[in-house]
Structure 1
């Protein structure tokens, strides 16, 4: 199993649609005994939280966020944890909004700044 996500900071590698996460969004992950959770903020997101589980290299979680425009939204995401050749972590994600229409894929990678 790839290393723990606990304490890692990750960021999207590309912009999503308006009102979603983008390269200025930072996710701070935590992990313990198969549980994962994170806080995120930046870009169009004032505050976001995710909570779920990890089994091997698979994450399954729900997320909720508050946008800069005052709207809230929630959804479900399944991610695959990949260790990059330089030792950083990448999450390859498939997500779907539950509070509004929309779905897609995204990639977030560990930042070292």
Structure 2
């Protein structure tokens, strides 16, 4: 199993559609005893939260966010935890909106102190 996500910061490697997370969004992850949660903000997202579980290298969580246009959105995501050759962590995600139509994939990677 990859190392704990607790205290790690992640950022998307590419922008998504407007009103979604993008390269300016930062996720602050927490993990304890198989539970995961995170706060996120940046880009088109004013404030977001995710909460779920981790089993081995699989995350399963729900997310909800407030966007800069004042609307909210929520969805479900399943991620695979991957350790990169340089030791950083990548999350390969498959997500779907629950509050509207739409689904996709994305990748977020651990941000190191000097790259924040």
TM bucket, shorter chain: over 0.9
> Aligned pair count?
113
RMSD: 0.3
- Give the Cα–Cα distance (whole angstroms) in 2 for the partners of residues 43 and 71 of structure 1: 14
Residue of structure 2 equivalent to 1:61: 61
Give runs of ≥4 in structure 1 deviating > 2 Å.
none
- Give the Cα–Cα distance (whole angstroms) in 2 for the partners of residues 17 and 43 of structure 1: 11
Deviation at 1:98, TM superposition (A): 0.1
Q: How does 1:1-113 map to 2 (within 5 A)?
A: 1-112=1-112, 113=115
- Give the Cα–Cα distance (whole angstroms) in 1 for the partners of residues 108 and 97 of structure 2: 18
Q: What's the TM-score once normalised by structure 1's chain length?
A: 0.99
- Give the Cα–Cα distance (whole angstroms) in 1 for the partners of residues 37 and 24 of structure 2: 19
- Give the Cα–Cα distance (whole angstroms) in 1 for the partners of residues 17 and 105 of structure 2: 11
Structure 1: which 5+ runs fail to align?
Answer: none
- Give the Cα–Cα distance (whole angstroms) in 2 for the partners of residues 76 and 18 of structure 1: 19
Q: What's the TM-score once normalised by structure 2's chain length?
A: 0.97
Structure 2: which 5+ runs fail to align?
Answer: none
